[in-house]
Amino acid sequence: MPYNDTATEPPEKKAKIQCSPKVTLSLWEIHGLDEKVPIHIPNLPTALREDRQNIADFFLFVYERQRIWERRNRDEAQPWSQNPVFLDCSFCNNYRELDRGTQFFHAHVLDLRDSMGPNVSKLDWLTAVLWASYVYRQVNKVESFLQLGFPAPRDAVSFLKRASSQFKEKGCSFFTGAHQTQGYVNYRRHVEAVARNDGKLLREVSKKISNASNTKLCLKHLRAFPGIGQFLAWQMLCDLRESYCIDAKVDDYCELGPGAISTCNLKLRVFPL
């Protein structure tokens, strides 16, 4: 299933749109809701009852953000919101599956499945997806892998040489600018280490993940890879789960990054820093 780059390409930024007088900071007003609604939220844990207003505000924020995505995806005319914060600022998608980079990775996984055939073992499938996730998530840039493709472990060295020469010639970055990355020298060293000895480390980690009794233990095994901290380990674990390599459910476990934790503390005050 080829990746349709145009289908998920984010729209070009346009000049600010002159909005109608209905623009308002209040999401409650936009949706015609009474701000007293949170008082009636039932069954909250005792520790969260004092924060019910913040919880309701947050869910309303999530609801409005998703409505914006749906309007944009349907090619509706702008503005997609009456709220000036949503109009002037950028926010990540509510759902990881809607991110362009994740959609691209999912398309590769489908191609990979077709190429490996229906009789592939569960362990071989896990190993193949794990390797693809490892080389991709450290870069996290669609354009780089559209140009170079996903290498097999035996082709890691030639892949890295092509990445270095082609992107130096073009004077553009091989890595995403959306978050911190480790740079080419470290990336090359780490990928070569995992591919070395016919992918020995890759196969060892795959077996441990396959035999892990819970999601948290899978996360621990992923951190055995060089260059993989808690943030990237969680992204890779999500790739494995979404590719049906492990049996973990979405609600089994979640690893929050520093930004998510600080936001939860701001709104809910439930995560010790």
Quick: pLDDT tens for 11-25.
Answer: 454 444 444 446 677
Q: What integer best gives the mean pLDDT of the chain? A: 86
**Greatest mean pLDDT range, 45-49, 94-98, 129-133:** 129-133
pLDDT at residue 248, as a whole number? 78
- HEC readout, the chain: CCCCHHHHCCCCCCCCCCCCCCCCCCHHHHCCCCCCHHHHCCCCCHHHHHHHHHHHHHHHHHHHHHHHHHHHHCCCCCCCCCCHHHHHCCCCCCCHHHCHHHHHHHHHHHHHHHHHCCCCCHHHHHHHHHHHHHHHHCCCCHHHHHHHCCCCHHHHHHHHHHHHHHHHHHCCCCCCCCCCCCCHHHHHHHHHHHHHHHHHHHHHHHHHHHHCCCHHHHHHHHCCCCCCCHHHHHHHHHHHHHCCCCCCCCCCCCCCCHHHHHHHHHHCCCCCC
Domain locations along the chain: 5-94, 101-242
- pLDDT tens-place string over residues 175-203: 998 888 889 999 999 999 999 999 999 99
pTM of the shown model: 0.80
pLDDT of residue 3: 61
